[in-house]
């Protein structure tokens, strides 16, 4: 069984090459790699991929004629899906050598599951272990799986509520069942919560998720990431607030009242914004302070269907 590795790319060249090297080192040969370069301004990149693609037919490199932005490039990436399983990997993350074999084994045990979340360790920009507040909270919110190679199947409203309380997924490590991934696709216009939106859309449609405790992926957390500066500006929380309000209405419409209430409250998102307020104040991000404060203090609405 072949896994499509999709790599939407724009960013640090050294980290991107480390990500690519980690794919080449997989113990399983059953993968393809498609890199969708969103026009990163480095003239060496096409030559780099040309050289490795000439040696390995599993590798495809595409460079966009114009910058599509994160959401547009992710949506374009899905047009290259060809096999039963797919992962949309971050260009600064690292696969451990057992990633492909791990997600394939989880799929073989639970073939109907649309989503596979394998075990993840967090590293920083220097490839050192990292465990900040956000990742400690993810561990608290994540469902328990017994053993170093245990698996657990989750679905329905309880799964939606769990993710709405605190999104414990590491999106670049998630493996998807390709047919439902492509059919559902990323919602247009979302650049911060597009991964959570996709996951919740699949769950609302009856999809299930497998949690596999086997560690096979290094997720990179660093201060220069797009999500980091969006968080400090507070702009990411504007998108989050609008998203959670919209999802609350959608869950209420299908009778998932607990999910609707949890989404409308979006407590973990508010707490995250609150932890960033002191730094935004110290660095004189005045608009960021206003955006963060508004998110923390905004009064949850109610729906007539709840």
Q: Which residue has the tokens 């640090």?
A: 12
**pLDDT score at 226:** 47
Q: What is the pTM of this model?
A: 0.90
Q: Are 142 and 212 in contact (CB under 8 A)?
A: no
**pLDDT score at 304:** 43
Q: Are 286 and 187 in contact (CB under 8 A)?
A: no
Using alpha carbons, select from 193, 173, 195 the residue that is nearest to residue 116: 173
Q: Are 63 and 9 in contact (CB under 8 A)?
A: no
**pLDDT score at 301:** 60
CB proximity list for 156: less than 8 A, separation 6 or greater: 203
Helix locations, the chain, DSSP H: 13-24, 45-55, 69-77, 99-109, 133-141, 156-165, 178-184, 194-204, 226-233, 235-253, 257-265, 267-282, 286-297
**pLDDT score at 136:** 92
Angle between helices 45-55 and 13-24 (to 10 degrees): 10
Q: pLDDT tens, position by position, for the chain (306 residues)? A: 999 999 999 999 999 999 999 999 999 999 999 999 999 999 999 999 999 999 999 999 999 999 999 999 999 999 999 999 999 999 999 999 999 999 999 999 999 999 999 999 999 999 999 988 889 999 999 999 987 779 999 999 999 999 999 999 999 999 999 999 999 999 999 988 999 999 999 999 999 999 999 999 999 997 655 455 555 566 778 888 899 999 999 999 999 999 999 999 988 888 877 877 787 778 777 777 777 887 788 777 654 444
Using alpha carbons, select from 92, 120, 133 the residue that is nearest to residue 222: 92
């Amino acid at each position: 069984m072949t896994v499509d590795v999709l790599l939407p790319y724009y960013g640090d060249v050294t980290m991107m090459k480390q990500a690519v090297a980690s794919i080449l080192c997989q113990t399983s040969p059953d993968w393809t790699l498609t890199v969708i370069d969103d026009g990163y301004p480095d003239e060496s990149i096409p030559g780099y991929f040309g050289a490795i693609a000439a040696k390995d037919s599993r590798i495809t490199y595409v460079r966009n004629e114009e910058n599509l932005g994160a959401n547009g490039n992710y949506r374009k990436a899905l047009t290259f899906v060809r096999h039963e399983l797919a992962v949309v990997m971050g260009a600064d993350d690292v696969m451990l050598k057992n990633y492909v074999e791990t997600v394939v084994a989880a799929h073989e045990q639970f073939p109907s599951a649309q989503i596979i979340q394998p075990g993840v360790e967090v590293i920083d920009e220097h490839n050192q272990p990292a465990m900040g507040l956000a990742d400690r909270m993810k561990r608290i919110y994540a469902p328990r799986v017994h053993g170093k190679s245990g698996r657990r199947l989750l679905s329905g409203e309880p799964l939606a509520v769990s993710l709405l309380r605190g999104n414990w997924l590491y999106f670049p490590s998630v493996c998807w069942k390709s047919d439902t991934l492509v059919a559902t696709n990323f919602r247009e216009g979302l650049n911060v919560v597009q991964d959570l939106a996709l996951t919740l859309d699949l769950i609302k449609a009856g999809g299930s998720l497998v949690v596999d405790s086997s560690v096979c992926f290094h997720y990179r957390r660093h201060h220069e990431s797009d999500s980091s500066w969006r968080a400090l500006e507070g702009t990411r929380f504007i998108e989050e607030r609008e998203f959670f309000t919209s999802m609350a209405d959608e869950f209420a419409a299908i009778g998932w009242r607990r999910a609707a209430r949890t989404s409308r409250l979006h407590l973990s998102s508010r707490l995250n914004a609150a932890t960033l307020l002191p730094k935004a104040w110290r660095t004189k991000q005045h608009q960021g302070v206003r955006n963060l404060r508004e998110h923390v203090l905004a009064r949850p609405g109610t729906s007539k269907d709840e």
